[in-house]
Amino acid sequence: MLLIHCPYCEEERPEIEFRNAGEAHIARPSDIASISDADFEKFFFIRDNTKGLVYERWRHVHGCARFFNAVRDSVSDKFVMTYKAGEPKPKKLPGAGK
């Protein structure tokens, strides 16, 4: 079973308590009504989906119900770290030397 650390509850809980909410750190356009259809499509649908480390939003639906961000390795499915929503992308990752 995969355990995920909730940065608000401060504990690791089983993956069935959480839901993935997509890519993290997506900036919403300031005036979304004025952008082109192509730019709207890019903002709304197109995601990086890279192999390796990905930054994602998660929600602890069966716990505190809060959103948080996570760094996860998409190859091994292991979580490198989690951090509170609104915090910037970490510059250094624990154990990754980055």
Instruction: Print the domain residue range for 41.
Output: 3-84
- Laid out side by side, the sheet with 19-23 consists of 19-23, 53-59, 67-73, 79-84
Is residue 95 pLDDT above 80, yes or no?
Answer: no
Average pLDDT over residues 15-40: 92
Report how many domains make up the chain: 1
Whether 95 is in a domain gets the answer no
Is residue 93 pLDDT above 70, yes or no?
Answer: yes
Find out whether 98 and 81 touch, Cβ atoms under 8 Å.
Answer: no
Whether 90 is in a domain gets the answer no
CATH number at residue 25: 3.30.2270.10
Confidence bin at 8 (pLDDT 50/70/90): very high
Whether 30 is in a domain gets the answer yes
Query: Which residues, listed in sequence order, are joined to residue 72 by a DSSP beta bridge?
Result: 54, 79
Whether 40 is in a domain gets the answer yes
Computed over every residue of the chain, the mean pLDDT equals 92
Whether 20 is in a domain gets the answer yes
Whether 94 is in a domain gets the answer no
Q: How far is CA 3 from the centre of its chain?
A: 16
Confidence bin at 51 (pLDDT 50/70/90): very high
> Amino acid identity of 61?
V
Whether 19 is in a domain gets the answer yes
Whether 41 is in a domain gets the answer yes
